[in-house]
Amino acid sequence: MGIPSSRWRSAAPAVVLGAAVACAVSVQREIQLGADYAAEIDRTMPVVHDAAVQAALDQAVRPVLAVAVRRDLPWTFRVVNTADVNAFAVPGGHIYVTRGLIEHTTSYDQLAGVLGHEIGHVDLRHSASHMEKAQAASLGVNLGYILLGRQPGQTESTALNIAASVIFAKFSRDDEREADHAAVRYLTRTGINPGGMTDMFNILRQLEGRQPDAIAQFFASHPMTDDRITDVGRMIAADTAAQRAVHTGVRDRPVFHDLRRAVRALPPPPIPAHQPGRE
């Protein structure tokens, strides 16, 4: 998920890292790298530190996280104050959703599907797999380039180098399908309408036509193929419990609207440090 645009590169990490772990990466290593990445993201991106936003987000994700498999991670969830529509995860259970994504969702089940998908990437240890591959290949895509929209100077590079290309690795279609399936299972088990996922896919498709720049980073890291959308529908149709949850499951909750109100009360997203044509 690393295609520069004129917007804050904070949105770039789109649903990142998660999955079929390479045994070379221990849980301890995953947690330590995740803590390093999260600290750098907090330092270089407009991560929100607002009590009302945090409380609402934590409450919104709690039912989904309760059925996640991994109990060995210090899960954290944060909002990034950017208008870009995105969500991403880094190793160790640190998950981020952007203000733009929250503002474009219209019901709780849609947001729960996004959060479930990101939790799925981490649960399936896709990020640890990316970590192992990135280390083996000595990849070095610079976070600064994506944040700034240009090649950073030496001083900037030194400050930003801690975040490696693994944060922006593009998940494979198999990874995306596995995370989608995990999200359907999570939502079904918690009695949330899994059909909210397909509703969210449709919103993203519509945004792709109206605001391609705002959605570019999401699609860069989350291949949005017709096959993927159809696959989620087929999974729901083949699962009696999922079908029942579509008809009787939770579609909306007050906490979702609390979160949207708290996000809308935030200061406007910061202006990018650099835009093409502006030196």
Tell me what percent of the residues of the chain surpass a pLDDT of 70.
Answer: 71
Range of the domain at 73: 9-264
Give domain status of residue 270, yes or no. Answer: no
Average pLDDT over residues 37-61: 95
pLDDT at site 3? 29
- The tens digit of pLDDT for each residue in 141-183 reads 344 444 444 454 554 444 444 343 444 446 677 888 999 999 9
Give domain status of residue 2, yes or no. Answer: no
Give domain status of residue 271, yes or no. Answer: no
Give domain status of residue 275, yes or no. Answer: no
Residue 33, pLDDT > 80, answer yes
Token pair listed for 229: 């959308």
pLDDT at site 133? 61
Q: Which are the contacts of 202, defined by CB distance < 8 A and separation ≥ 6?
A: none
Give domain status of residue 278, yes or no. Answer: no
Could you give the residue ranges of the DSSP H alpha helices within the chain? 27-44, 51-65, 99-104, 108-123, 126-137, 143-148, 154-160, 173-189, 196-210, 212-221, 226-237, 240-248, 254-264
Give domain status of residue 279, yes or no. Answer: no
Give domain status of residue 212, yes or no. Answer: yes
Residue 16, pLDDT > 80, answer no
Domain count for the chain, please give it. 1
